Amino acid sequence: MSGKILMLILDGVGDRSVKKLGGKTPLEAAKTPNLDRFAEEGQNGLMDTIAPGIRPGSDTGHLALLGYDPYEVYRGRGPFEAAGIGMELDPEDVAFRCNFATLEQGKIIDRRAGRIKERTEELARAIQTIDLDVDFEFEKAVEHRAVLVLKGEGLGGMVSDIDPHDVGTEFHQAEPLEDSAENKKTAKILNDFMKKSIDVLSDHSVNRDRKEKGELPANIILPRGGGKVPNLDNIEYKHGLISGAISGIPLVQGVCSLAGMNVLEVKEATGGLDTDPKAVIDATVEALKKYDFMLVNIKGCDLSGHDGLSEEKIDFIEKIDSSLDRLNEIEETYVAITGDHSTPVTIKDHSGDPLPLTIWGEDVRTDDVDKFNERACSKGAINRIKGGDLLNILKDLADRTEKFGA
Amino acid sequence: MSGKILMLILDGVGDRSVKKLGGKTPLEAAKTPNLDRFAEEGQNGLMDTIAPGIRPGSDTGHLALLGYDPYEVYRGRGPFEAAGIGMELDPEDVAFRCNFATLEQGKIIDRRAGRIKERTEELARAIQTIDLDVDFEFEKAVEHRAVLVLKGEGLGGMVSDIDPHDVGTEFHQAEPLEDSAENKKTAKILNDFMKKSIDVLSDHSVNRDRKEKGELPANIILPRGGGKVPNLDNIEYKHGLISGAISGIPLVQGVCSLAGMNVLEVKEATGGLDTDPKAVIDATVEALKKYDFMLVNIKGCDLSGHDGLSEEKIDFIEKIDSSLDRLNEIEETYVAITGDHSTPVTIKDHSGDPLPLTIWGEDVRTDDVDKFNERACSKGAINRIKGGDLLNILKDLADRTEKFGA
């Protein structure tokens, strides 16, 4: 009988030797009885999400884990952000992440408009009245963030950012990153959009109110990270799996959504350190009754890694560990526990260091590893695989693969 | 001086943890002093024949072991079966496996014509008189099996089976699997062939005699598994090796034959559990005096795996092991012992679980492994490789590779 599959992705969990931890990694320093039990009962190894030494993004990393070749399908972050906030996308659309920002005397003085949180919906409605040479959609996202989708044919996805990624400087003009009529068209429309965003926002009542309260106005939209919507083979067609996903991050939700997975709403998966892993695991156990395959991303470790906080990372790892009891309830399921990339506290960014990987389930060939961490797993029976092979391995264990040949 | 190369392929030898064996695999449970000695004296690792998690067929698996990319060259099983029974094939030919079957009132009531064994040569001669729009060859194979080869240009290889793979149902009409004039042509000819097979067989004296004896008549030919003959670079040209092969399975013989290897007749390699491994090893030792490279496939474990019989699998592994004494005699030879795929008794089918691999020969870098099995080999010096790399590794050890670059 075919088994089910769970990929539990601890975002940014991998790390390096940390001096102040006596040379241990946060995973090694943390007390993780549940994770260690999975390691002891399962088979273990290292995983390069994309390839050795390649730093995955959250988008490209999850693409690889779902069996897509990110070098082939990835065309920028914008479309995943758009899908992540639930926008409907067509294959020829071009999507951009945007910030509400503050422009003063021709210079960007705050890329987040004083971290504006409220009434961005009103500003978005004003933006939606802009008249462009193509159809477009514009939606606010969390806080100062928004998404722009240019629709229609003949648009290129390779244009530079208007966002200068710096303050005290002028905004940039979008330029084609590769010379083509399509990219030129997109750049022209994007520059037009940005100018018109200034027109409709500068004297908007929301901004008048903000100025009165001494807050920075959100008087320009800065698009960045543009890209065409990738044409991903639906995961049900590609892998024969009815699939669900849980994540607190729109970018990961967007990847899963564009892959054709059902993105489940779990409000306790916040994408922050206040995530409640227990609630996420509860939702996962329930979802596995319905879905063949669940991808569950728990953010948290990644944030501590970016901030360089090893103790905080240890605490969050232990918080995750203590939430895993209920996984004992699941039956006939092959579980992979790993990350999407390392986020070493010494680097404060994603890194290409390989990740620990445990595969657990009935009849797997176990090994001598009894701890879930980078060093222990490196001695396991899996040795070292690529992230792009993980779903194939799990499908094979769950007896869900077709023989290639006779 | 260049060494010789032996690939000893224990068909389907890999397995998973088996509960009734106390969590051991059949290889772990078996007493294998000879295999263990090779492991102890050699270097060890795991091998994914095609790629992690991919379930190889016997044909695609052996293609990979011979250094061909099965994703590139594999175009169906038919041509290998044809080559396996010694038919001469040209590159544009399209070959099909066929069954002699029984048709009654428009329905297939037995796909094997009562497991017909005798006088199929007479039936084949009748089939050979059929008049088609292209040249063709038709040869009986073992028991109820036969092979059809359509010859000439403009034929496609992608057509559906006429064999319904079920009884009590009508036979199918061949249809193009991809829309092309070539596939349409093949489908039309195949449907014509099948109808005419009924014409020449229904009142054939062999079938009249069978009916009189109360046996099912072989009154229709059911083709399946069609494919164009792949254009494999000859292994002598590709690898610079004068090569021989021993196998009891026509499919594997066919792969080796189309690769340009000399397929040696060893009647004790039966393809069944009655194979005499000692005779196979004797023939191998003799053949290595003549050939640079021998691929030797011993079936048996695979059959027990398909039947889910762990004790039988253990017994056959021990039977192979006890036959390996004479391998001590060979000199200046690098020996790889592995499988073409796992066939876990818990799955009763091929699986993508990686295989144990031992490489033995003069001056190889040994390791601490002293048992030939899945778990022990996973700790070896080879780590985890792909099957497509194995022959290159062996050639390199045998000092038979050219430097790439300067």
Q: Which residues of B touch A332 (CB under 8 A)?
A: none
Contact status, residue B336 vs residue B398, Cβ threshold 8 Å: no
Give A370's DSSP letter.
-
Give the number of other Cβ atoms within 10 Å of residue B168's Cβ.
Answer: 10
Of the residues A166, A197, A228, which one is the last residue of a structural domain? Answer: A228
pLDDT computed for residue A204 by the predictor: 97
Residue A225 token pair? 């990270």
On whether residue A238 sits in a domain, the answer given is yes
Facing A392 at nearest CB: one of B53, B225, B374: B53
pLDDT computed for residue A92 by the predictor: 87
Chain B touched by A115 (CB under 8 Å): no
Facing B374 at nearest CB: one of A365, A384, A405: A365
Give B111's DSSP letter.
T
Chain A touched by B323 (CB under 8 Å): no
pLDDT above 70 for A1: no
Shared-domain flag, residues A105 and A56: no
Q: Categorize the per-residue pLDDT at B343 as very low, low, confident or very high, splitting at 50, 70 and 90.
A: very high
Per-residue pLDDT, averaged over A260-269, amounts to 97
Per-residue pLDDT, averaged over B166-190, amounts to 96
Shared-domain flag, residues A110 and A50: no
Chain B touched by A401 (CB under 8 Å): yes
Shared-domain flag, residues A110 and A143: yes
Q: Which residue of A has its CA nearest to B383?
A: A383
Shared-domain flag, residues B254 and B195: no
Residue A232 token pair? 């991903």
**Interface predicted TM-score of the whole assembly (ipTM), two decimals:** 0.92
Distance, CA of B349 to chain centre: 15
Shared-domain flag, residues B191 and B253: no
pLDDT above 70 for A326: yes
On whether residue B192 sits in a domain, the answer given is yes
Chain B touched by A394 (CB under 8 Å): yes
Condensed to tens digits (0 to 9), the pLDDT of residues B193-252 reads: 999 999 999 999 999 999 999 999 999 999 999 999 998 999 999 999 999 999 999 999
Q: Which residues of B touch A399 (CB under 8 A)?
A: 347, 349, 351
Shared-domain flag, residues B342 and B369: yes
Question: Please, how many CA atoms are within 13 Å of residue A172, restricted to the half-sphere of its CB?
Answer: 16
pLDDT computed for residue B190 by the predictor: 97
Condensed to tens digits (0 to 9), the pLDDT of residues A138-197 reads: 999 989 999 999 998 899 999 999 999 999 999 999 999 999 999 999 999 999 999 999
Chain A touched by B346 (CB under 8 Å): yes
Collect all residues with Cβ–Cβ distance below 8 Å to B198 and sequence separation of at least 6.
B103, B219, B220
On whether residue A403 sits in a domain, the answer given is no
Per-residue pLDDT, averaged over B36-45, amounts to 98
Contact status, residue A180 vs residue A156, Cβ threshold 8 Å: yes
Query: What Cα–Cα distance (Å) separates residue A167 from each residue in A170, B157, B166, B198, B322?
Result: 8, 63, 72, 83, 77
User: Can you give the CATH number for the domain in which A369 is found?
Assistant: 3.40.720.10
Condensed to tens digits (0 to 9), the pLDDT of residues B260-306 reads: 999 999 999 999 999 999 999 999 999 999 999 999 999 999 999 99
Of the residues A228, A259, A276, which one is the last residue of a structural domain? Answer: A228
pLDDT above 70 for A34: yes
Q: Which residues of A touch B388 (CB under 8 A)?
A: none
Chain B touched by A238 (CB under 8 Å): no
pLDDT computed for residue B92 by the predictor: 87
Cβ of B349 and A384 within 8 Å? no
- B43 Cα to chain A: minimum distance (Å): 16
Shared-domain flag, residues B90 and B64: no
Share of chain A above pLDDT 70, in %: 100
Shared-domain flag, residues B245 and B392: yes
Average pLDDT over all residues of chain B: 96
pLDDT computed for residue A262 by the predictor: 98
Query: What Cα–Cα distance (Å) separates residue A396 from each residue in A246, B15, B308?
Result: 23, 13, 17
On whether residue B406 sits in a domain, the answer given is no
Condensed to tens digits (0 to 9), the pLDDT of residues B128-144 reads: 999 999 999 999 998 99
Cβ of B58 and A405 within 8 Å? yes
Distance, CA of A209 to chain centre: 35
pLDDT computed for residue A298 by the predictor: 98
Q: Categorize the per-residue pLDDT at B91 as very low, low, confident or very high, splitting at 50, 70 and 90.
A: confident
Q: Which residue of B has its CA nearest to A391?
A: B53
pLDDT computed for residue A219 by the predictor: 97
pLDDT computed for residue B403 by the predictor: 93
- A117 Cα to chain B: minimum distance (Å): 46
pLDDT above 80 for B1: no
Per-residue pLDDT, averaged over B65-71, amounts to 98
Give the number of other Cβ atoms within 10 Å of residue B248's Cβ.
Answer: 21
Domain of B261?
4-74+231-397
Residue B293 token pair? 């490279």
Shared-domain flag, residues A137 and A192: yes
Tally the domains of chain B.
2
pLDDT computed for residue A91 by the predictor: 84
Cβ of A406 and B58 within 8 Å? yes
pLDDT computed for residue B328 by the predictor: 87
Per-residue pLDDT, averaged over A252-258, amounts to 97
